[in-house]
Amino acid sequence: MKKELPKTYNPAEYEDAIYKKWEQSGFFNPDNLNLPDTAKSYTIVLPPPNITDKLHLGHSAMLAIEDLLIRYHRMRGERALWIPGTDHAAIATQNVVEKKLLREQGKTRHDLGREEFLKRVWEFLKTTQTMILHQTRKMGASLDWSRQAFTLDEPRERAVRKLFSDMYHEGVIYRGVRVVNWCPRCQSTLADDEVEYKEEKSKLYWLKYGPFVLATARPETKLGDTAVAVYPGDKRYEKMVGKKFMIPGVLGEFEITVVADRAVDPKFGSGAIKVTPAHDFTDYEIAQRHHLPVKQVINEHGRMMANTGKYAGLTTKQAREAILADMEKMGLLDHIEDGYLHNIAVCYRCGTQIEPIPSKQWFVNMDKKLKHLGGKSLKDKAIEAAETGQIEFIPARFKKRYLDWMNNLHDWCVSRQIWFGHRIPVYYRKQEMTKSQIPIFNEIPNSKSQTLNKGSGTDEEIYVGEEAPAGEGWIQDPDTLDTWFSSGTWTFSTLGWPDNFVKGKKAGDLDRFHPTQVLETGYEIITLWVSRMIIMSFFALNEIPFEKVYLHGMILDKHGKKMSKSKGNGIDPLDMIDKFGADAVRLSLLMGNTPGNDAKYSEEKIASFRNFNNKLWNVARYIITNYELRITNYEFNAGELTLADKWILEKLKNLIKAVILDLEKYQLAQAGEKLREFTWDDLADWYLEISKFEKNKEKSQILNYVLENLLKLWHPFMPFITEAIWQEMGYDRMLMVEKWPKSDAIASFQHNKEKFEVIKQIIIAIRNARAENKIEPTRKVKAVIYAGKRKNLVAEQAEPIKALRTGIGELEVKTDGQKIAGAIYAAVGEIEIYLIGAIDSEKEKARLEKEIDNLEKAIKTAEGRLANKEFAAKAPGGVVKKEKDKLKGWREELKKFREQLGNIK
C-alpha cells in the first residue's frame, strides 16, 4: 500500500483527534491493558498543580518527563499507572481570591463571612481547575483520568481526618504554645519551609544595657527581654553567668538573668546578646534550655501589645522609632552602625516580613518514638530511608540537602489561621471550673503541657476524631491544616487509603501500586513536599512512598533569568503548542536538560525541535510513499543484505540497547540525543540516501522495520507525531500500547558495521577535501584510493562512494601506489585518497597544514590520557583498546599528511 503524505507535518490536524482516541480507548487505565497477573507495576502520582493559576513551563517539563516514563514502562508491558490531580493550595488560593475580591469589589473576606467567601473560592477554583486539566491534555499526558483526585475532595478529606486523628491519639500531634512564624498580612502561621529570606541593609543599634553594651537590629523587642546570653567560657562575662541584674528601660527597670549558651556567636557585637524568647526562634530555644520566662509584646497584627504601656497599638516600625527617641533621651543608646547586612524572613506567598510570636497551635512531634515504627520517630525513619538507599535521589547530590533538612527538623506547625483548606478535625466544649481549679499564668508557659486558660473560669473538653462528636455544645476548631499536610498523603490517599488498609494490610490499588516507583518534581520543594510525603507514608503505612525522587531544575529564559509575568519574559506553553505543536514543546523541555539543573529556554529552541519533527515526518513520508507497508513477519535473508543494510540494522540494535539503558537510569536527555543522532545522521543522511540507488529486494522490509522500531523508541518523547505516522502506515492497533523493541530480535552485524564506518569516513574525507578547496559541487573529479588491505571492501562499495555527494566521476581503487603530484590529498587511517584535476596548490597546502595541526593536538591528548595511570587502571579494557586504536590511526594519518605536504613544497 502506497500513499501520499503532506510535505510538512501540521500538528493541529492530528493532536486533538489523537488524544481523544487515546482517552476513549481506556488504555491510560492499566486495568484495561490485558496484562498477566505477574506484570510489574510502575506508578507515578502527578505532583498536583496549584489551582491558583494556569500551568507554566515548569509544569510542562514535569508532564513531559513523567509522560515519557509512563509511556516507556507501559510499552515494556508493565502495569503503568499515572494518577492525575490538582492541589487546593490553601493559603495561596485564599490569597488570590482575597486580592481579587479587594480589587474588584473593595471587600475583604470578613465582609463576606466564612461561608460566602468559601463559595467564591470554589467558584474560582472550578474555572482554573478546568483550564489546568485542558492544558494537561494538550501536552499529551497519558494520565488515568478515571482515578483523578483533588487534595480537598471527599476521599482526601476523609484520609486527612483519619490521619490527623490517628496521629493525635498516638501522641504525634499535640496542641501547644510555641514561637511560630506568623504572617501579619495572611494572619496565619507558616511552616519553617514556607518562609523565604531576603538580604537587607539596615542599622545595628548598640544599647547601654546595665553592665553590658549590646548590639541588636530590633530595639523594640527589648520590652520582651528576659535574659542576656553569652558564649560558654567567654572570659569577658564568665563571672556574670547565673547572676540576675536590674536593667534600666524605657518602661522602668526590669530583671534579666545571664545564661551561657552555645547558640551565641561570640564574634557578633560585644559577644553578649539580649534574649527575647517570645519573638526570636533562637532566643526561644535558649529560654527552653535555661527555663527562662517568655514575655510576648507584639501581637498577631504586628503591633505592640497592651503590656507595652505608651507604645501599645504602634506597629513595630513605629515603636522602634519612638523607643529609640526615648532611649536617646535617657542615655540608653550607645551608638548606631549603618549598613548592617542580614537576612530577614518573609512570607513565601505575600512577601510580608514574618513576625515570630508565641501562639497556641497544633504541631507534629518529629521526635516521638512510635511502637509501630519499631521504637523510632518519624524523623528517624525518614532519615533512615535516605541513608540506607530505600529512597534514591536523582541527582544524588540532593540526598545531602534532604538529610541536612531532616537532621535539623523541628516539630512541624500544621495549623493555619485561614478559611480555605482542610478544617482541623478537633472539637471543643467548655466546662465550668471552680475558682480553685483555674490555672493563672502571668507569663506565657514554656512547656507545651500547660494550658492558656488565664482565669477564664472555664476549661475545655477536647474531642479529636474522624466524625463530629455526638451531643450539644461542641464547636469545631476554626483553623485549617497546612496544605502540605494533605498533599503529604498524596501517594497513598489516591490509592484508596484508609479503606484499602485494614488491620495493617494493604488491599486493592494500595497493594498493587504502593510504594510508587518515582516521584518527579522540582528540586525547590524537597523540604516542602518530598519530606512531608515520606513522613506521612511512614506513619500511615510504615513504608516509603516512592523508590526514587527525580528532581528537575527551573526553566529560565534564554538569558538565564527566572521567568515572570512582571518581567514580560514568560512563555505560555499553550501558545507554543498552538504555534509549534506539543511534541516540539516536549522535546525542547526534555533535550539538553539534566536532572537537578536549571535550563535556559527560548522560542527558538522550540522552533528547532519543530524542524526536527518535520525531519522525522519526511523520513517516514519517503518510506511510506515509496515502499510497501504493513509487513507483519520480518525475515531478513542475510545473503541478500548489502553492507549498508547490515550497518543500519546493527546501529538499530545498538540504539535499542542504549536507549533502554539510559531510560532505566533516568538519563532521559541522553537517550533522546542518541535517538536524534540515529534519526538525522544514520537514517536520514546515510541509509535513506543509499536506498535511493541500492534497490535490492530487502530494502522495503528493512526500511519498514527500522521505521516501526524508531517510532516505538521515539513515542514516549513525542507521542503525537509518532502515533500520527503509525496511523498513516495503516496500523489499526495504537502505537501507545505496542510492545517496546527488543535488541535481541536483530541478528548481530557488528563486523559489517565497522566496515561501513570505514566507507563513511572515506566519503566524509572526500567531501571535506572538496569543500576546503572550494571545488564546485557540480564538478566531477577522478579519485584514486590506495586502500591497502581494505582494497576489496572499498572496491565493492564504489557505488556508494561515487553516489553520496562526493562528486566522483571516476574511481580507481588500488592496494597502494606512488604519490600523485598535483592532486588533492586526504587520508583515513592507512587509506590514502587522491582527487585529481582540481587542485589549488596554496589552498591545498593550507588545508594540509590545518589537518596536521589538528592531528598533532589529538595525538598529544590521547598520549596524555593513555599515560595517565589512573585512566589505564580504572577505564574498561574496551575503552583503553579503542583509545589505542584511535591513536594508531591518527599517527598513520599524520605521517601521510606530512609526506603529502612535502610533495607540495
Q: Residue ranges for the binding site? A: 565
Query: What angle in degrees, to the nearest 10, is found between the helix axes of 699-714 and 643-664?
Result: 10
Cβ pair 736, 715 in contact under 8 A: yes
Alpha-carbon span 608 to 182, nearest angstrom = 48
φ, ψ (nearest 5 deg) of residue 182? -120, 130
The residue with cell 497551635 is: 361
Alpha-carbon span 182 to 189, nearest angstrom = 5
Alpha-carbon span 840 to 581, nearest angstrom = 49
Q: Which residues fall in the annotated binding site for ATP?
A: 565
The residue with cell 553492507 is: 643
- Which cell is 217 given? 537590629
Residue 299 three-state SS:
coil
Residue 547 three-state SS:
strand
Please list, in sequence order, all residues whose beta carbon lies within 8 angstroms of the beta carbon of residue 484, skipping any fewer than 6 positions away.
Answer: 191, 528, 529, 532
Closest among 24, 58, 54, 53 to 142, alpha carbons compared: 24
H/E run at residue 711: helix 699-714
Alpha-carbon span 83 to 490, nearest angstrom = 10
Alpha-carbon span 178 to 362, nearest angstrom = 10
- Which cell is 2 given? 502506497
Integer Rg of the chain from CA: 36
Closest among 172, 85, 193 to 530, alpha carbons compared: 193
Cβ pair 869, 799 in contact under 8 A: no
Give the burial string for 87-121 (b: 16+ CB within 10 Å, else e). Answer: bbbbbbbbbbbbeebeeeeeeebeebeeeebbebb
Cβ pair 314, 223 in contact under 8 A: no
Cβ pair 556, 427 in contact under 8 A: no
Length of the chain: 905
Residue 622 three-state SS:
helix
- Which cell is 817 given? 601506489
Long-range contacts, stretch 865-871, CB < 8 angstroms, 24+ apart: none
